[in-house]
Amino acid sequence: MPVIAVVDYEMGNLHSVCKGLEKAGATPNVTYSPKELEQADAIVLPGVGAFDPAVQHLRSRGLEQPIKEAIASGKPFLGICLGLQILFESSAEGIQPGLGIIKGKVRRFRPEPDITIPHMGWNQLEVTQPKSILWDHLPSDPWVYFVHSYYVDPIDPLILAATVTHGTQTVTAAIAYENLMAVQFHPEKSSNIGLQILSNFVAQVREKIPA
């Protein structure tokens, strides 16, 4: 089974993510070792919490450069929730610079009379990259589970893989570009749809492993 490094920087829902990866047919390895990130077949960067502590924890553990090098090398990479946001240059939630792997910013939902912030619960994706491996074997525009007050706003619209609408605001729900994929929702909390998304990621990892 492919070994997938699950990055431990004290900000992730590691248990649920690992259980989901196991069900998807992978061997998760929770780690903050740069060497183990390099040796893994793929990397998952989960995240729950605030932007500034997340990037501070990553940098204090010396993980920023190994993550950048892994993505640049073509290794399959999946960011989840906060693990998507910290890939960007900056966030309205804090003052720390993000990893800057993706050009763009993290913005906060605008208050509206009839919406709640955070955006929490099940919502329907509007898939914009139907050929992305993320959506293999899924119904069109599936429902997934969100918990977030901020959303990513990439400069390059071509990396958008799905959007979601909350109130009158349509925002990024997933991105995909070559080996880099990241989602704002929680696949590990999204029942069978989420498990299929994780299985799709694992399938891509298997394809990359030399025979």
* The residue to which tokens 């993000």 are assigned: 98
Please say if 188 is a catalytic residue: yes
- Which position among 119, 148, 166, 188 bears the catalytic label? 188
Catalytic residue of the set 64, 81, 148, 166: 81
For residues 18 and 128, give the distance between their C-alpha atoms in angstroms, rounded to a whole number: 28
Order of strands across the sheet that contains 90-91: 90-91, 104-108, 150-154
CA distances from 25 to 53, 61, 82, 194, 209 (A): 32, 29, 24, 14, 14
18 in catalytic set: no
Within the chain, what is the greatest distance between any pair of CA atoms?
A: 56
Determine whether 69 is an active site residue. no
Q: Which residues are catalytic?
A: 81, 186, 188
